[in-house]
Structure 1
Amino acid sequence: MSSPFFAHRDALSGSVRKLSQINFALALLLGAHAAQAQPLTLGQAQQLAVDRSRQLIAQDHAATAAHEMAVAAGQLPDPVLKVGIDNLPVNGSDRLTLGSDFMTMRRIGVSQELTRADKLRWRSARLEREADKAQAEKQAATAAIQRDTAIAWLEVFYTDQMADVIAKQTALARQEIEAAEAAYRGGRGGQADILAARSALLALDDRGDEIGRRRRVAQTMLARWTGAEAAVAGKPDIDNIRLDTAEPDALLAHHPQIAVLNRQQDIAQADANLAQANQRTDWSVEVAFQQRGAAYSNMVSIGISVPLQWDRKNRQDRELAGKLALVEQARAERDETLRGHEAEVRTQIVEWRSGRERLSRYTRETLPLASERSQVALAAYRGGKATLAEVLAARRNETETRMQALQLELDTARLWAQLNFLAPEDSTTGHAAINR
């Protein structure tokens, strides 16, 4: 019989264990929440987007399917088993009998098409080119994911900074309202100053709502790639790109989208080679065993079948001409797309450089000048040499200048992302992964 002391001790131990389990579960939940709240760097966001992409998995399956079908296409067709009855009487005394008439035979045979080796090779090669195209499309999709994720990340990053500017200016605007009301009560200011300060605050609130809307949209787009909304941290070096701006054509020749068109051209060429191989016919061989009635000898038949290309100029020759025309079509489309990419990239390089120069001028001259103007207006107001309206105008000018600088930096960062992720970046080496 257990004592009350030991029963109380066991109950207390059970409560302690249960409380420890609850604390451990809470710690896990808090740790998971802290992990989710951890700010994402640009590289981390891109890696998450690539890892969770279903499109890349689909391209891997497409490549695997093409490889498997390429092996099957390189094999000879399956042999054909043939079973039948020849020369079965349908009237007379031997009607529907198998062993009475000397011409009646039960036949079993096998036929095999002897496809030419070059045809099998080109059928297989054509599907291998499909697999290469699927891999090139995967590279293009990876570059697009990294680029779009970077743009969404940059939108969040810079709208956060814009929101900070608005928040700081809003706090100052509230202080200015308080100062205007105090001056009005002390007989040193007019009611117009209070109304002007309140109007300035309303304008900042409206601007803040607009920035908040942009930030929510940017967070939604970033979550589309990373899987969840998260804060962002770190600032990419938008002054440098992986592309050689002096000679961008070297990379563009192996741009993922151009690589896809190159693989499409290879597929068209493989079709043309197969059409050329089809100008030479394939033979079929058949062997059959015929069993007759018990009074007659059994027989063996051997045959060869050869297709007759009796209208080659209107069939095989025209098929080859059509396939060769498709090769030229693929080559022309590839060249035209390359020209378009070259012009687009060169334009983006010009705009990116211009944005950097303008941003440098904002940082070096425009922003310090706007800040100094605000400080001078505030000092003059405190000394009774300026009105509150002049201070508010200087504040609005400074806020607008900072917002313009951030918008310019965001526009330049977008161009940087478009140029820097023309080709996918290898997460392990940090270099472009180009499908050659």
Structure 2
Amino acid sequence: MKNLMIHLRPIFRSRLYLGQAFLALSIMSTQAADQTNSADKIIGMEIAIEAAKEKDPWLVGNKHSQDAIESMSIAAGSLPDPNVSIGIANLAADSFSFGQENMTNAKIGISQMFPAGDSLAIKRQQLELKGSQFPYQREDRKAKVSVTVGQLWLNAYNAQESIAIIEKNIPLFQQLVDIAEASYSTALGKTRQQDIIRAQLELTRLDDRLTILHQRREMFQERLSEWLNGYFQDKYMENGQSEDHGNNAFMLARKLPDIKLLNPQLYVSAALTSQDILYEKMETHPAVQAIEQKIKASKAGIEFEKQQYKPKWGVNAGYGYRASDRTGRDRSDLFSVGVTFSVPLFTANRQDKKVMSAKSRTSAVKTEKWLLLRKLMASFETAKAQLIRLNERLELYNKRLLPQMSEQAEASLTAYTNDDGDFAEVMRARIAEMNAEVDALNIEVGRQKAILQLNYLFMTNSDQIIG
């Protein structure tokens, strides 16, 4: 019996190694086929982000809003239209004769009003300042889209690569099951029926895990496709293909991008970063700058209301034509000119209150700025702590945990093939190694997502999000 076991052990080992070699070949051929069949529909993170920003309708609407404000600023800086009046004055009621009375005349007049003080120029400046918010708003929107689409891409990538890791290990587990069944059927070795059942159960659980991961990948790809529909449509139209081929099915790039961290000097220590340093870095953020322009526009509103303490002016001129009298003598025509102006006497309930209201609005907008800065600073500390821990975990996995898991799996398999180990331990070691690979992938993806969030906090241009 011992001689038979010695004879069978090399067979078992050769079957295992043959299965691993077949697995490697099948994976490489499958990947090559996928890349060949879907080469025109492989989406990297950078392409996905640029396509989403290019096709974002919010940016178009924001530009239209800016155009509307800028057009309004030109109109607001213009004087009101002059008024022209035409009429007949002092016509005799008994005869309606134009030449009967000396004061009867046909009159034409024109008047022009002038707003108080410099209110026209200030109103125009206020609207121009309001319009200057929109470019910063669009830059902030592009940055937020970059973070949102980047995280969706990373989530889909995480599911895709987790599937690849599990599918890479399934043939190995199948080989282990075959070996266990062969050992059990020949009554050789220490394989028990419960070992076979456990191995089959683990395969079933892997199938369920794959189903869940496929569901996650499809969910994130569908959410990602909401941002990329226009990209696919334009791409296929440029290639002269029908729209039927421009569906949302696409593959993600297999390489995880290495996103460069902005201001890496801030992450050297886990200690809290000085708020003065953070303020200096974050005050140029587009969202903060948009509110800053809003504050300037609100301050211009205060100056506009102060102009209402000054009088409004108006000038008018008129010319009256008189007909000859009854004896045929010409009568001199009439000319009139005048000035009108308002007298702001009752300012307590009008001008004073409007100035107070404008100042309160300005204070409210300043509060928005400080709330935003506080939110950005708090987000930084949270994401910074998360990134530091993820870096520590990633280093631990790469330098110690993954090599140790691999050594444990190899040692347990060697012991089992030498009839000196337990089959259940082989399964546990292989599953633990596979889970460690998936965990390491989760950590790396989580690290990239944290960098996206941190880069958003310090960017001045949306292109800086992914370097």
TM (norm. structure 1) is 0.83
Distance 1:225 1:231, change over 3 A: same
- Give the secondary-structure state (helix, strand or coil) at the position aligned to 1:421: helix
Q: Distance in 2 between matches of 1:314 and 1:85?
A: 41
One-letter code of the match for 2:206? L
**Equivalences for 1:14-413 in 2 at 5 Å?**
36-37=40-41, 39-87=42-90, 93-94=94-95, 100-115=100-115, 118-188=118-188, 189-227=191-229, 228=232, 229=248, 230-233=250-253, 234-238=255-259, 240-242=261-263, 245=266, 247-295=277-325, 297-413=332-448
Q: CA deviation at 1:225?
A: 2.2
One-letter code of the match for 1:36? D
Unaligned runs of 5+ in 1: 1-32
Q: CA deviation at 1:162?
A: 0.8
Alpha carbons 1:284, 1:305 under 8 Å: kept: yes
Distance 1:334 1:421, change over 3 A: closer
- Give the secondary-structure state (helix, strand or coil) at the position aligned to 1:245: helix
Distance 1:291 1:390, change over 3 A: same
Distance 1:63 1:432, change over 3 A: farther
Aligned counterpart for 2:454 among listed residues 416, 419, 427: 419
Q: Distance in 2 between matches of 1:87 and 1:319?
A: 44
Q: CA deviation at 1:111?
A: 1.1
One-letter code of the match for 2:214? G
Alpha carbons 2:137, 2:290 under 8 Å: kept: yes
Alpha carbons 2:259, 2:466 under 8 Å: kept: no
Alpha carbons 2:320, 2:333 under 8 Å: kept: yes
Distance 1:88 1:389, change over 3 A: farther
Alpha carbons 1:142, 1:424 under 8 Å: kept: no
Q: Which deviations, in whole Å up to 9, do the C-alpha atoms of 1:224-253 show, x marking residues without a partner?
A: 223344323333224733565264433211
Greater displacement, 307-316 / 40-49: 40-49
Alpha carbons 1:86, 1:105 under 8 Å: kept: yes
Q: Distance in 2 between matches of 1:101 and 1:207?
A: 106
Q: Distance in 1 between matches of 2:39 and 2:461?
A: 25
Q: Distance in 2 between matches of 1:250 and 1:102?
A: 79
Distance 1:125 1:281, change over 3 A: same
- Give the secondary-structure state (helix, strand or coil) at the position aligned to 1:314: coil
Distance 1:171 1:88, change over 3 A: farther
Q: Which deviations, in whole Å up to 9, do the C-alpha atoms of 1:340-381 show, x marking residues without a partner?
A: 211211221121111111111111111111121111111111
One-letter code of the match for 1:167? E
Distance 1:75 1:141, change over 3 A: same
Q: Distance in 2 between matches of 1:294 and 1:208?
A: 107
Q: Which deviations, in whole Å up to 9, do the C-alpha atoms of 1:134-177 show, x marking residues without a partner?
A: 11111111111111121122122222211111111222222222
Q: Distance in 2 between matches of 1:110 and 1:212?
A: 78
Alpha carbons 1:243, 1:251 under 8 Å: kept: no
Q: CA deviation at 1:424?
A: 5.7
Alpha carbons 1:86, 1:104 under 8 Å: kept: yes
- Give the secondary-structure state (helix, strand or coil) at the position aligned to 2:310: coil
Q: Distance in 2 between matches of 1:213 and 1:411?
A: 20
Q: Distance in 2 between matches of 1:159 and 1:249?
A: 37
One-letter code of the match for 2:112? Q
Unaligned runs of 5+ in 2: 1-36, 233-247, 268-276, 326-330
- Give the secondary-structure state (helix, strand or coil) at the position aligned to 1:278: helix
Q: CA deviation at 1:425?
A: 4.2
Alpha carbons 1:283, 1:306 under 8 Å: kept: yes
- Give the secondary-structure state (helix, strand or coil) at the position aligned to 2:335: strand
Q: Which deviations, in whole Å up to 9, do the C-alpha atoms of 1:39-84 show, x marking residues without a partner?
A: 3332222222222222222222222222222222222222122233
Alpha carbons 2:321, 2:334 under 8 Å: kept: yes
Alpha carbons 1:243, 1:420 under 8 Å: kept: no
Alpha carbons 1:163, 1:211 under 8 Å: kept: yes
Q: CA deviation at 1:102?
A: 4.5
One-letter code of the match for 1:351? Q
Q: CA deviation at 1:190?
A: 2.9
One-letter code of the match for 1:210? I
Q: Distance in 2 between matches of 1:413 and 1:277?
A: 54
Distance 1:289 1:192, change over 3 A: same
- Give the secondary-structure state (helix, strand or coil) at the position aligned to 1:301: strand
Alpha carbons 1:239, 1:356 under 8 Å: kept: no
**What corresponds to 2:21 in structure 1?**
none
- Give the secondary-structure state (helix, strand or coil) at the position aligned to 2:43: coil
Q: Distance in 2 between matches of 1:186 and 1:87?
A: 131
Q: What's the Cα RMSD here?
A: 2.5
**What corresponds to 1:3 in structure 2?**
none
Q: CA deviation at 1:117?
A: 6.2
Alpha carbons 1:143, 1:424 under 8 Å: kept: no
Greater displacement, 226-235 / 367-376: 226-235
